[in-house]
């Protein structure tokens, strides 16, 4: 497996969960990977597990200065950048009637504003053949109680890919959305507990949650030339949750 041989990738939210699984797959397929995240302990553990073809940079996507440090580090060591996996994101539940300005700001600063600047600041390092992958969510196309702000942020991500594909015409850079459904990351398993996991598993036709490695495999496909005629697309890796 060498579809990404010689390529340089950055993965935000790359120290744990889907981001870490994608980093492992990218490296297995020949890439050199920078993982970016907010927790130094998680970054240290990630690099230890990923090996010599990984580097870690600490920071938040909601802080433009942190992103500038990230891309300066990539430029200094690798000069150019082939793959951007804008994966950092999150959100809490709050029902209509209890939504606060702080809740909106926190969600959109990471999921939308942070994603916008993650991509925009990467562009000067990217060349023809580059691939940008945005992490969406099945929540971007479905309705769920108390998830309106998070869902709206992920719907925005879907449309950013459409509009940026137009903006990137002629550059040779592709952009697509990877939209997971319920995924059995360590964070999700700890938060949901055994009963919660069973409940989420029952929501999709596959009757289980995804393993992070399954999402990472699709990220590698979108990063590689196997998806060379895809842009502005959304790939749902959700066990059919948002498809029926």
Query: Which residues, including other chains, have CB under 8 Å from residue 106's CB and lie 6 or more apart?
Result: none
Angstrom distance (rounded) from CA 1 to CA 135: 23
Cβ-contact 81, 130 below 8 angstroms: yes
Q: What is the mean pLDDT of residues 27-33?
A: 98
Each domain of the chain, given as residue ranges in start order, spans: 8-237
Of the candidates 98, 113, 150, 189, the residue annotated as catalytic is 150
Which pLDDT score, from 0 to 100, does residue 191 have?
Answer: 80
The topology under which CATH files domain 8-237 is Rossmann fold (3.40.50)
Averaged pLDDT score across all residues of the chain = 96
Angstrom distance (rounded) from CA 36 to CA 121: 14
Angstrom distance (rounded) from CA 5 to CA 2: 5
Query: Which residues, including other chains, have CB under 8 Å from residue 110's CB and lie 6 or more apart?
Result: 60, 61, 62, 88, 89, 90
pLDDT in tens, 35-70: 999 999 999 999 999 999 999 999 999 999 999 999
Query: Catalytic residue at 71?
Result: no
pTM, two decimals, is 0.97
The helix (run of H) or strand (run of E) holding residue 186 is helix 186-201
Which pLDDT score, from 0 to 100, does residue 117 have?
Answer: 98
Q: How confident is the model at residue 200 (pLDDT cuts 50, 70, 90)?
A: confident
CA 57 vs CA 35, 84, 134, 220: distances in Å: 6, 14, 19, 21
Which pLDDT score, from 0 to 100, does residue 192 have?
Answer: 85
Query: Catalytic residue at 189?
Result: no
Of the candidates 154, 169, 189, 198, the residue annotated as catalytic is 154
pLDDT in tens, 149-195: 999 999 999 999 999 999 999 999 999 999 999 999 988 888 888 89
Which pLDDT score, from 0 to 100, does residue 189 have?
Answer: 87
């Amino acid at each position: 497996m060498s579809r990404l041989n010689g390529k340089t990738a950055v993965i935000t939210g790359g120290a744990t969960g889907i981001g870490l699984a994608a980093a492992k797959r990218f490296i297995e397929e020949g890439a050199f990977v920078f993982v970016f995240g907010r927790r130094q302990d998680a970054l240290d553990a990630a690099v230890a597990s990923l090996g010599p073809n990984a580097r870690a940079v600490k920071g938040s996507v909601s802080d433009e200065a942190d992103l500038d440090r990230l891309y300066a580090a990539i430029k200094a060591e690798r000069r150019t950048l082939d793959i951007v996996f804008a994966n950092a994101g999150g959100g809490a539940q709050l029902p209509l009637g209890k939504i606060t300005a702080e809740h909106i700001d926190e969600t959109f600063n990471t999921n939308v504003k942070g994603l916008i600047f993650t991509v925009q600041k990467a562009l000067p390092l990217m060349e023809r053949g580059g691939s940008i992958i945005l992490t969406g969510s099945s929540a971007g196309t479905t309705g769920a109680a108390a998830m309106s702000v998070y869902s709206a942020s992920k719907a925005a991500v879907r449309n950013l890919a459409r509009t940026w594909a137009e903006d990137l015409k002629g550059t040779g850079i592709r952009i697509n959305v990877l939209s997971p459904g319920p995924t059995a990351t360590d964070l999700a398993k700890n938060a949901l507990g055994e009963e919660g996991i069973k409940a989420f598993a029952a929501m999709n036709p596959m009757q289980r949650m995804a393993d992070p490695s399954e999402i990472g495999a699709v990220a590698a496909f979108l990063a590689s030339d196997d998806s060379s005629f895809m842009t502005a697309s959304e790939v749902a890796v959700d066990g059919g949750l948002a498809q029926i």
